[in-house]
Amino acid sequence: MLAPPVTWWKPLNRMEKSWVLVAFTWCLILTVMMPLWFFIGRQNVPVTTYRATPVECQCLR
């Protein structure tokens, strides 16, 4: 394995900058949408829980 040249890093060109901007914008949108989906959307976790005994679980097999 060879070491990279000393000047291996170069500034991004226009196309690379636009893709980084698109990816960063999408990350921000999804970060904002996560709490919105939880509070506003219908995807909230159900709060109803059930307790089952081992005998009740035997009939499921």
Instruction: Report DSSP state, residue 30.
Output: H
pLDDT < 70 stretches in the chain: 4, 8, 43-46, 59-61
Domain ranges in the chain are 15-58
Residue at token pair 């999804």:
30
For the full predicted model, state whether its pTM sits above 0.75.
no
CB 12 within 8 A of CB 20: yes
Q: What is the pLDDT of residues 24-41, one digit of tens each?
A: 999 999 999 988 887 887
